[in-house]
Amino acid sequence: MNAVIANWIDKLHKMLAVQIMNNRCVVISKIFTPAHTDMILIFNPATKTSLPTFFPKPDTWSVKVEVDGKQGDVSVSKTLFDSLAENNSIMVMYAIGFFSDDLNIKELSLV
């Protein structure tokens, strides 16, 4: 009986496990978002008013890539961002979501 359960658990694990894959991808676009400040209103029940709270956001650099017919965004360093151009072919480490079927990018590299 233990062998049956072990076999079933092994099949279930293989079905649900996320596989990390390596492949070449194409840079679709580069996105630079300059530093800015976000503001949200936080309700204060004591005064029954909403007070603004500010959150500074730093510069961000991201790249949209396509691999195996799926597209995804990933944040990158300024150095990597500056070294890439649209339609470049680069290496990507990624996984496909089991339920969502989304592209989850783990790492980009120029090699």
| CATH topology for the 19-109 domain | OB fold (Dihydrolipoamide Acetyltransferase, E2P) (2.40.50)
Which two three-digit tokens encode residue 69? 């017919």
Domain ranges of the chain: 19-109
Say whether pLDDT at 75 is over 70.
Answer: yes
Work out the pLDDT band at 35, boundaries 50, 70, 90: very high
pTM: 0.69
Say whether pLDDT at 39 is over 60.
Answer: yes
Q: Please compute, for residue 84, the number of CA atoms within 13 A of its CA located in the half-sphere on the CB side.
A: 30
Work out the pLDDT band at 16, boundaries 50, 70, 90: low
- What mean pLDDT comes out for the span 26-44? 95
